[in-house]
Structure 1
Amino acid sequence: MARHQDDEKRTRILQSAIQAFGEKGFTTTTMKDIAEQADIAPGSIYTYFRDKEVLFISAVDTVWKQFHQGLAAILKEQETFSSQLDAMLDYGFDLLKELHPLVRGMYQEANRLNLFHKNLVKLAKQLSFFFERADEDKYTLSRFDKRNRMYLLKVWISGMLFTLSSLPFERIDGEIERQKSVIRKALLVHTP
């Protein structure tokens, strides 16, 4: 007889997986590690996820989905270009700091599973649309055609994530402030 799935338990497993994969990476994390953190029996995980790889993909997708939803909400709520940019930077970097252990694991492991690239493209499209709506040629990225703007966004996002994922947690705050400052200066440049 099939076991009944409980949404709260599934969420607890996903949150525990995010933490465990972040701390140990995909290879060294075991289902037992995740079960202990979720305070459930290891076999219970298989009611919700076929295997460790499926759980990893679900954990990474959960984080990216949360991130994309947050950005979409910011674009609806904020009125000016600069307030949207500030809100996106604050939201994105706050989430990166909160999920630093997973970012470290995800950046290395997700490339193998094509998860990083899929979400990188989605994020670059979301941000490219943001710049398309800006006043024509008034801001740095607004001057580029869509293809080149997407390319630049993917390179910048990859570089930011790589830099943050390679730092120890105690250096994250300083690097986040530095990146926010540089991004604001680079993107809010008004051209004549």
Structure 2
Amino acid sequence: MTRVVLGIAGASGAALGLATARHLAAIGAEIDLVVSAAAERTLAEECGADAFDQITAVATRFHERGNIGASIASGSAPVAGMIVAPCSMRSLAAIANGLDDNLLTRAASVQLKERRPLVLMTREAPLTLAHLRNMTQATEMGAIILPPVPAFYMLPKSVDQVVDQIAARAVDLLHIAPPIALDWKG
């Protein structure tokens, strides 16, 4: 079974984390989950009081953010990659600058050093020059920046469809299963 790290940072867009977890579970991936303190609050505010329980129920393993001795803090952990959904500008900055100050940012750094896929659903608007530079720096190290931009050409009927499509795209970028995102038919 394929093992994937899912990080949820505190940016708005907590539903992206939930949708990503559901997609990973649906393709049979084992999910190693790590959630920032701000993300716990954002999950509750944006997705309901039980959102944290929902996402931990889907995860195979839940890791406390302060446990930098967790298996996912080491390159020897056999994972296929990591998605941070959503990725706050704080987490992006830490990842881009190698500040492994919590398990989420350490696990992301491990993906980069091991040359594994790292998908960052960066969530902020408008962007400052610092944000853009951090995105460039993370990209130069091998991360994939996937801002949660709707594919309007797919004519989504609801916000849930938009979120679902973006999350599916993130999972597809790991190349661990046949594509699950809707594809453009032309």
More strand per residue: 2
TM-score bracket, shorter-length normalisation:
under 0.3
TM-score, with structure 1 as normaliser: 0.26
More helix per residue: 1
